[in-house]
Amino acid sequence: MKELPILKHREEIIQAVRNNQVTIIVGPTGSGKTTQIPQFLKEAFPNGQKGKIGITQPRRMAATSVAYYVAGQMNCKIGKEVGYQIRFDDHTTEGTLIKFMTDGILLREIQSDPELSEYKAIMIDEAHERSLNMDFILGLLKDLLKRRKDLKLVVGSATIEEKKFSQYFAGAPVINVSGRMYPVDVRYLNLQNQIFWESSYDKELIKEEVVNVVGEIHNSGAKGDILVFLTGEEDISAIVKEIEEQAFPGLVCFPLYGNMSFEDQMRVFEPINVRKVVVATNIAETSVTIDGIVYVVDAGWVKQKNFYPERGVGSLEIVKISRASAEQRAGRAGRTQPGICYRLYSEESFNDREVYTKPEIQRTDLAGVVLQMRIIGISNVENFDFIDPPDKEMFHAAHETLVTLGALNENNGITFVGRMMVRLPLEPRFGRMVLAAQQYGCMDQVLTIVAALSGVRSLFNRPKGKEEEAKEAHQKFKDRTSDFLTLLKIYQAYLETKDKRTWCRNNFLNMKALENIRDIRRQLQDIVLRVGFPSHQGKPEDLHKAVAAGLVQNICRSLAHYQYARRGKGTIFIHPGSSLSGSFFGNLPPWIVAAEIVQTTKPYARYCCAINPEWIREIAPQLCETIIEVVSFNRDTGKIEVIEHIRYDGEEICQQPAELDVKTFKEEQSRRIAEAEANGWIKLSFIFNIKELDWTAESGGMTYLALSSDIHIETGKTYYCSVKTKEDDVFFKIIKKKFVRIQFEVFDLE
């Protein structure tokens, strides 16, 4: 077997680490960076020097498989000198020297020990992936290196903007490792009369082409396993099924994607005596080495998360991969012999693509990162030293999310809720949901819902030609008020069924999705037990309150048929697949909450339930506004009888009687007047126009018309009003009239 290219640079790398605080190592896939540099780092330090060597990998599967490989090379048992830690699985001991982990684990270690006092060296591997956590960690490490001159940092990558990274770390040296184990012949698809490959993603055409290429390779008689890159589980399952139906002799298919169980993922590494075809997402692009792969088939697309802060909408979009990703995929071939990469797109298309994948931190929701920054003690998050800083709008959206969830107050201070959320290794909205489940006593149901929302897969199958039959089968599970109750009904029936496969097939349900919910739920159960939260079964109302607490940004009020208003984010529509969309005989609930807003032809709300708007005051009081209407003043008791009108997004959600003393009322009124003046509201007194049957006020040569209000209007009283702007309406400019909404009455209690 040929020598790994990285071995020729062993002494150079060891000396660079000894002489520099930061070293950047760039080498193509297959050069041996991931498995050999950790061992070089061990040699770079004097014998007896205390401290661990931490190696981050972007995915759990990579951290685990690489740890086992390196332990084998060093002739030690996993968990001894070489170990790994991923979420829910810690295979390290006090004697572990080389520790592989995900970047999420390292981030949590930084939170608990900002000095990383147990470590003498950190290696950030596969830095080109530019994950959200990775970019944040690099910024934290850059700051830490100023305080810990003894700490060494190595940044490893196959395709990286090496000058940018070197400059970011004050001119750190760059070592380029050239050469692969074996050459890879890249072959492009002949695109004559096949322009579709260049414009849009067509899974049926891609499936056809992948099966054709796999068949050609297999029928050629040449030896070697095949690795196919696709976008996601649905496409992978379809192609695995198609290849298996072709019944190629001596060929076995294995799917590989992130949501599979660890045991199923590890099956791809098991040696077999026939040709292996691994059909994978980009999980197989980096660090995961499957022995025997000679051929790579690259469809050229990937599913990518994007977030649009102005609409508060996230989407999982299928986009073309970058040139760097294409090179990574090609590098998976040729590990044991010369390889071939078949690209299902033209060379022209390759050259027109982005050089590097856009960093995740510039295209995703930052709420989780911002909360972590605040917990660590970073208050000026917008000026944090990221390699590629996100837009300010992304930070503003994150802050708004955290305030809405009650994790931060309006002054950017961390609340008790925020500190509790950080203890749960979940994204903020799910963490808030779990905290609310503890409060309302419905943890059992909420864990199932969070597991389902984490999996992001449809439970319903609708095969072509059997749509009506499937619809009828699904109908018996549907609750017309709640997709969440529908989900729980399906999951409970699944658990109670012995022959799960037959039951899922007969009811047109996605068995893999249900298995995934079960597996994720087990992990979530471990999390809440460690925090000390007991399990409870709650009433539907309590369940929906807990769900709404985590999804409060997606509370919507009805505007028209299937159309809803979302606070500050425009209008949305209930997704046609929702249980609510075919209910209420066309009369949809006035208020709903949705698990997610997805943008397709329209902004659609998915996973919805009807809610009582009065709950908003209970689950998100920070988002409510109280309007005080004075009923009477009892001079004998010195008390003012009032009605408190509670509003959310300008709409009254409830009201209640109350009593205030004069001092408290005056203080509240002074505060509201100052706030009104700052908002540009105007003070008006109205008279009733009998001819037009409306209330009008005159001020500064302008006539103001009062919109309908919760507050009773009387002649001679004074009110602060917000102006409903009509600046672009020529008619209102001509007649010199404006609409106003009465916000509150001003009282003279002297």
Q: Residues 339-360: pLDDT tens digits?
A: 999 999 888 889 989 988 888 8
pLDDT confidence bin for 728, thresholds 50/70/90? very low
Rounded (5°) CA angle 501-517-64: 105
Over residues 170-180, mean pLDDT: 85
Report, as an integer, the average pLDDT of 28-46. 87
Res 181: pLDDT: 65
Residue pLDDT, tens place only, 255-307? 998 777 777 888 888 889 999 999 999 888 876 778 889 999 999 999 888 77
In the predicted model, is pLDDT for residue 14 greater than 80?
yes
- Please check the confidence at residue 731 and state whether its pLDDT lies above 60: no
Task: Fold for 5-176, please state it.
Answer: Rossmann fold (3.40.50)
Residue with tokens 């590494």, as numbered in its chain: 269
What is the rounded distance in angstroms from the CA atom of residue 302 to the CA atom of residue 285?
Answer: 11
Mean pLDDT calculated for residue range 63-74: 91
**553: nearest Cα among 395, 710, 429, 388:** 429
Tokens (6 digits) for 239: 């192609």
Q: What's the pTM?
A: 0.78
pLDDT at position 586: 56
pLDDT tens per residue, range 406-425: 999 878 889 999 999 988 87
CB pairs under 8 A, 24+ apart, for 48-51? 49/120, 50/120, 51/118, 51/119, 51/120, 51/121
| pLDDT over 90 at 172, yes or no | yes
What is the per-residue pLDDT for 336?
A: 75
> What pLDDT is attached to residue 564?
92
Mean pLDDT on 547-570: 88
Average pLDDT on 97-117 reads 92
Mean pLDDT to the nearest integer, 574-594 = 79
**Which residues does 716 contact at the CB level (< 8 Å), separation at least 6?**
685
- pLDDT tens readout for residues 202-240: 778 888 889 999 999 999 878 899 999 999 888 898 899
In the CATH hierarchy, which fold is given to the domain comprising 365-413?
Arc Repressor Mutant, subunit A (1.10.10)
User: Which pLDDT value is given to residue 1?
Assistant: 46
CATH of domain 621-746: 2.40.50.140
Q: What percent of the chain has pLDDT over 90?
A: 44
Q: What is the pLDDT of residue 240?
A: 92
Q: Is the fold of 184-361 the same as that of 621-746?
A: no
pLDDT of residue 264: 80
pLDDT, tens digit, 9 for 90 and up, residues 113-170? 999 999 999 999 988 888 888 999 999 999 999 999 999 999 998 777 888 899 999 9
Q: What is the pLDDT of residues 631-644, one digit of tens each?
A: 777 777 778 888 88
Q: Where are the domains of the chain?
A: 5-176, 184-361, 365-413, 424-619, 621-746
Q: What percent of the chain has pLDDT over 70?
A: 94
Q: Report the b/e string of 588-598 with b at 16+ CB within 10 A.
A: bbebbbbbbbb
User: In the predicted model, what is the mean pLDDT of residues 489-511?
Assistant: 93
Cα angle, residue 433 at apex, residues 431 and 439 outer, rounded to 5°: 110
pLDDT score, position 442: 96
Q: How confident is the model at residue 180 (pLDDT cuts 50, 70, 90)?
A: low
Please name the residues in contact with 408: beta carbons below 8 A apart, sequence gap of 6 or more: 371, 374, 399, 402, 414, 415, 418
Query: What is the DSSP code (8-state) at residue 219?
Result: H
pLDDT at position 456 is 58
CATH superfamily for 184-361 is P-loop containing nucleotide triphosphate hydrolases (3.40.50.300)
pLDDT of res. 193 = 44
pLDDT at 284: 85
d(Cα 734, Cα 341) in Å, to the nearest integer? 69
Among the listed ranges 152-166, 706-720, 724-738, which one has the minimum average pLDDT value? 724-738
Distances (CA, A) of 531 to 425, 434, 527, 534: 11, 11, 6, 9
When pLDDT is cut at 50, 70 and 90, the band that residue 187 belongs to is very high
Q: What is the mean pLDDT of residues 246-255?
A: 91
Is residue 184 pLDDT above 80, yes or no?
yes
pLDDT, residue 597, reads 85
- Which amino acid does the sequence have at 200? S
User: How much is the average pLDDT of 582-601?
Assistant: 77
**pLDDT tens-digit profile of 651-676?**
889 998 988 888 888 888 898 899 89
The answer, yes or no, to whether residue 726 has pLDDT greater than 90, is: no
Which pLDDT band, with edges at 50, 70 and 90, does 46 fall under?
A: confident
How much is the mean pLDDT over the chain?
Answer: 87
| pLDDT at 461 > cutoff 70 | yes
Distance (Å, whole) CA 610 – CA 105: 38
Q: Give the pLDDT confidence score for residue 56 in this predicted structure.
A: 95
